[in-house]
Amino acid sequence: MSNVLLINGSPHPHGCTATALDEMIRVFRDEGIECELMQIGSKSIRGCVSCGTCSKTGRCVFDDAVNEAAAKLEAADGLVIGSPVYYGSPNGTLLSFLDRLFYSSSFSKHMKVGAAVVSCRRGGNTASFDVLNKYFTISGMPVASSTYWNQVHGFTAEDVKKDLEGLQVMRNLARNMAFLIRAIADARAKYGLPTVERGAFTSFPDGK
């Protein structure tokens, strides 16, 4: 059975971001997609220190929620990242978590379906949405879309429940993501996955 890992980057397990993710989870379950939600927004997660240990071991030297999530992501067919907006950007704890998760894990994320979900009171959603989508697009992960940008508005969970269009966007996003996961699984069985070229690494040494 297909499965999706959802990451809640909010420190509030029943807040605005959680309300959006819960709407997706209900649809995933209706679609027969297994779900697991990780709550990481209130954890103490430090940023990457560029020690290089992960290049030798395939896991982060700091053995915390990052390595736990890596094992779950390796087994997952899709990843949903949810974040509140703080000063026009995702939660700093979440960004530290994602930097280390994507950099330290050695397994391929190619063709795992990704989706970002952002929540704010008024502004900053699209800027935060853009930041989160970059983790997918550098990793060969198809990005699921919906009928509007994947965002909800509200200061409280009760406010978000009144954002009827935002919740509709979450439901359509989950349906589209479930479809993409199944379509990719079918294509993999028929044709295999696309070839990924490696080797070219342009860094323009000496300013040339």
Q: Is it the case that residue 207 has pLDDT exceeding 60?
A: no
Of the candidates 3, 67, 57, the residue with the CA atom closest to the CA atom of residue 29: 3
- Domain span at residue 22? 3-207
Of the candidates 30, 24, 29, the residue with the CA atom closest to the CA atom of residue 6: 24
Lowest model confidence (mean pLDDT) among 2-11, 33-42, 133-142, 194-203: 194-203
Are the beta carbons of 20 and 170 closer than 8 angstroms? yes
Percent of the chain with pLDDT over 90: 94
Tens digit of each residue's pLDDT (9 = 90 or more) over 172-206:
999 999 999 999 999 999 999 999 998 898 888 76
pLDDT of residue 208: 53
The structure's pTM equals: 0.94
The domain tally of the chain equals 1
Percent of the chain with pLDDT over 70: 99
| CATH of residue 129 | 3.40.50.360
